[in-house]
């Protein structure tokens, strides 16, 4: 999985993808299959003409492509391209690449947080079956860089058979739903120590 390990590196492509509407459109196409500009516009809450523009930008950088026509073929169909969307910083990144990566990672994090927030708000409306298997967890681990790399690959290999864009609905068991798996592995950076508050601070 060398390409996925390396991730995205073109700053123009990363800046193009960092737009929130484009992330929503791409997620829709990768998970649910081909769609028209009008259909993805509804998901993103934008006009069909704006959706067409975003789709052309995504296509320009290889994230989406034309899909086989539907019905009479009058509406243009789009589908997501099965390519890695991972991003990782490197010591030799040029400043523009590093800035674009930071922008895209922040966009990914905002989108992921919004997804988790929606799930949390909706938790009480889920069936007991789904509530019992929903997990929000956070762990502190102790390992070296080689172990962290190995753990990352093991998690990826564990998740890969279930990727929604590659597992057809007909292959999944009855009752299967789209599930979000959020994985963040990074070395903890020490927080700045604020020190003890003074009496003046307490008085305020």
- List pLDDT tens digits, range 7-58: 788 999 999 999 999 999 999 999 899 999 999 999 999 999 999 999 999 9
What's the CATH fold of domain 2-162?
A: Arc Repressor Mutant, subunit A (1.10.10)
Q: What is the pLDDT of residue 177?
A: 95
Q: What is the pLDDT of residue 201?
A: 55
Which residue's structure tokens are 């009855």?
174
State the burial class of residue 99 (Cβ atoms within 10 Å of its Cβ: 0-12, 13-18, 19+). middle
Q: What is the pLDDT of residue 202?
A: 54
Please give the mean pLDDT across all residues of the chain: 90
Q: What is the pLDDT of residue 91?
A: 87
CA distance 157 to 4: 12
Taking a C-beta distance cutoff of 8 angstroms, is the pair 78, 67 a contact? yes
Q: What is the pLDDT of residue 142?
A: 97
């Amino acid at each position: 999985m060398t390409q996925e390990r390396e991730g995205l590196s073109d700053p123009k492509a990363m800046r193009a993808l960092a737009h929130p509407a484009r992330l929503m459109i791409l997620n829709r196409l990768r998970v649910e299959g081909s769609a028209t500009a009008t259909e993805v516009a509804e998901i993103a809450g934008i006009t069909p003409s704006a959706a067409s523009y975003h789709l052309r930008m995504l296509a320009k950088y290889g994230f989406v492509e034309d899909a086989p026509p539907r019905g009479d073929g009058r509406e243009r169909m789009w589908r997501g391209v099965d390519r890695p969307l991972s991003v990782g910083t490197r010591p030799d990144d040029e400043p523009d690449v590093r800035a674009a990566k930071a922008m895209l990672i922040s966009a990914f994090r905002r989108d992921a947080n919004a997804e988790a927030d929606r799930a949390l708000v909706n938790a009480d409306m889920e069936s007991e079956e789904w509530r019992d298997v929903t997990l929000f967890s956070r762990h502190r681990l102790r390992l070296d860089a080689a172990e962290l790399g190995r753990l990352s690959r093991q998690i990826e290999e564990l998740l890969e058979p279930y990727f929604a864009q590659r597992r057809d609905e007909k292959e999944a068991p009855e009752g299967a739903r789209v599930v979000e798996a959020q994985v963040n592995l990074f070395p903890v950076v020490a927080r700045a120590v604020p020190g003890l508050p003074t009496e003046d601070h307490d008085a305020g």
